[in-house]
Structure 1
Amino acid sequence: MHPLSYLVASAALALAGIAAAQDTTYAFRDQPRTGSHLRRNVAFAPIPFDKRYADLSDAQKGIVRAAYERMAADDEPPFPVNGLAPIFRALARLEKGAVHPGPIKASVTVDPAGMPLAVRILTAPGDDLGDFVGRLLLLQRYKPALCAGRPCGQEFLLAATLTDE
């Protein structure tokens, strides 16, 4: 195979892998309730709930990074230290009627030490649920953002779709 053909084929496979990863939707499921063996979906997101930023694949990191404008190659956004699972685990513990289906988007200002300073709820299926998610986000520790390889303050964007399935 000609070296250029090999390079083009490799690039096409890499792009196909990234496109496939971007079409993937991950579900967060709660634990079965007493008297049931069925787990219900709580939320869907384009990245896994159970992974820390360092554990995400390059394609998944690309999905997280896509929410930020002008991010250099060696920059990283802030991200919850323990991943998204603790946030959605707390949502799963709410009564089924308290979690209304719909998109949830929130922005958390994170300082260079990884501490949350403020939260803005951009979209929520209800005011009470938005307030609850905001409080959850303020209780998290974050991996600080990296700007030119150094910790810096930046916003973390949480985006998921809640469900009552």
Structure 2
Amino acid sequence: MKSNKLKALLSIVSISSTLLIASMATASVSKVYQLKGEAVSGSKIPVIEAISPVSFNKKYSSLSDAEKAIFNAKFHDLNANDTPPFPSMGLRSIYKPIIKANKNINATGSLHLTATINANGFVESVKVLNSPNVKLAAHAEKVLRNTQFDPANCNGIDCEMTFPFEITFK
């Protein structure tokens, strides 16, 4: 029942199918996080803009082991002691501005980009793999380029790694 209520409330966006598929493959998800927006006019209840098995507000170091496992599943060559690049201010810093921009653009479909994050946590390049709208892709690329990341760590050394980003707008 709880799942059906979340689906009914999710009117703007469904979060990264990659994260959801990874969560199913890893283990059963005990918690679902919500990214809330503004309340609709005449209501005090905020709109749920996205859902995810990984917190939008935490830094990577603050994620639970289960959340880390879900997130890490997106990185195929990650060793047990390695960490992937992660937005320094949490996933919210990427999802929120892209969702906000799409409220004006009103695109539907999957947006999938990859960003190469260097060993200092800066975005070196962004590649748009799929987008329902050129303006949305350009805005998402700008958001990723302006995001500071905690760099990936490979065998105890900060390293360059690709950060995949995917979101589906309904």
The verdict on how the C-alpha distance between 1:60 and 1:45 changes in structure 2, with shifts beyond 3 A counting, is: same
| CA deviation string 1:115-147 (max 9, x = no partner) | 111111222222211111111000000000001
Asked whether 1:65 is paired with 2:72, we answer yes
Equivalence for 1:20:
28
Larger radius of gyration: 1
Q: Indicate the SS of the match to 1:131.
A: helix
Kindly state the Cα deviation for residue 80 of structure 1 after the two structures are TM-superposed. 0.4
Kindly state the Cα deviation for residue 38 of structure 1 after the two structures are TM-superposed. 4.2
Which piece of structure 1 moves more, 119-128 or 144-153? Answer: 119-128
TM-score (normalised: structure 2): 0.74
The verdict on how the C-alpha distance between 1:143 and 1:135 changes in structure 2, with shifts beyond 3 A counting, is: same
The verdict on how the C-alpha distance between 1:54 and 1:120 changes in structure 2, with shifts beyond 3 A counting, is: same
> How many residues are paired up?
146
Q: Indicate the SS of the match to 1:93.
A: helix
- Runs ≥4 in structure 1, deviation > 4 angstroms? 33-36
5+ residue gaps in structure 1? Answer: 1-17
Q: Contact between 1:29 and 1:43, CA under 8 Å: does it hold in 2?
A: yes
TM-score (normalised: structure 1): 0.76
Equivalence for 1:13:
none
Equivalence for 2:126:
119
Aligned CA RMSD, in angstroms, stands at 2.4
Which piece of structure 1 moves more, 33-42 or 123-132? Answer: 33-42
5+ residue gaps in structure 2? Answer: 1-25
